[in-house]
Amino acid sequence: VGAIDPTAPSKIHPKHIQGLQFIKPFEPLQKLISQLNQQHDLVIVLSELVPPQNLVLANTVPGIDIIIEHYQKNRVSQEKVKDTLLFRLEDYKGKQLGVLDLSINNRRVVEYKFQKINVSEKELSAQNTTVRSELQTYLEIKERDVLNRMSDTIARTTTHLEGEKATIRFQETNLGNLIADGMLELMEFAQPDAAVVNAGSIRTSIPAGNITVRDVYKVLPFDNTLDVIKITGAELQAALENSVSKYGEQSGAGRFLQVSRIFYRFDPSRPVGSRILESKIANEPIDPARTYRLVINDYLRSGADDYLMLSKDPVVSNGNMVRDLMVDLLAEKQTVSPSVEGRIVKAQ
């Protein structure tokens, strides 16, 4: 039985869940599990409920033998609540495999063994032959599928998309605009005011012509996800100051921000902290006292690169990788022709 948290729609683009209804799961689970117990020896719940809902589920809904819980940080990997066994993995994204061996007698679990295996050649070689063989077969199939998918053409660009370090960490580029605009569009259901992306997360260019999945993965190789945060105008201005605080360093600073629906003009000859000469959002001066909704990636939200002003609890999160979201978005658009529009201006 699968259980998903009723708050899930706040983290998913509406187009992906059209026609679906998300309800509180406890009452329907109770009815369903009561029926299943009359027909089957064992009831296992695969749960995407947020903590501490799985503990509540185990305490309040009888008849569940096992709950396998979505990845949760800083939680014990297994515990027993009343007659229900709870198992958790400590990682996700295919990095860890859970192996659960059960001994069942008279429709009850009398013995069990739970293993967590890191999916690496070294760890696999130490595991039993059956697990290693089955996982190896699965990985070979997935590797073939992934390699085939990487070569798929998803869209076309009529112009060279500039993402080289020597350019994108010093000035506005059309690829920076394409990605920042894409982030804004992908989170439009959360009614954001603007989006920013650190240039360091963009690693290469795409030549004019066909765009493949592999091209997007090369441009966006990091495991970044998207968040929408609430931020004051004063904090946004501080973020823009931080964006140009390392400007002029030989290698270029990855903290330099590419933007969507934002304009800023700066003078790198001025002291750090007072380099922004002008800043706007949606063509209006940024109001220091106003609260804005800003789309960022989870790297910036972590406070990395001195972006402590962006380290806030998200209003909305999207757990999918930015690169995968961009692949889907480009596939919808088919053809792109982004340009440099004067969003970022260096004072002469």
CA contacts within 13 A on the Cβ side of 4: 11
Q: Please give the chain's pLDDT, 348 residues, in tens.
A: 999 888 777 656 566 688 888 888 899 999 999 999 888 989 999 998 887 888 999 999 999 999 998 755 556 678 889 989 998 876 555 667 778 889 998 888 889 988 777 766 555 555 556 666 777 777 788 778 888 889 999 999 999 999 999 999 999 999 999 999 999 999 999 999 999 999 999 999 999 999 999 999 999 999 899 999 999 999 999 999 999 999 987 667 899 999 999 999 999 999 999 999 999 999 999 999 999 999 999 999 999 999 999 999 999 888 889 999 999 999 999 999 999 999 999 998
**If you search the block for the tokens 């340009």, which residue do you land on?**
339
The distance from CA 205 to its chain's CA centroid, rounded to whole angstroms, is 22
40: how many CB neighbours lie within 10 A of its CB?
Answer: 11
**If you search the block for the tokens 């390699």, which residue do you land on?**
147
Query: Is pTM beyond 0.75 here?
Result: no
The distance from CA 94 to its chain's CA centroid, rounded to whole angstroms, is 15
The distance from CA 313 to its chain's CA centroid, rounded to whole angstroms, is 15
Question: Where would I find the H helices in the chain?
Answer: 26-39, 53-60, 121-125, 129-150, 165-168, 174-186, 213-219, 233-243, 298-301, 322-333
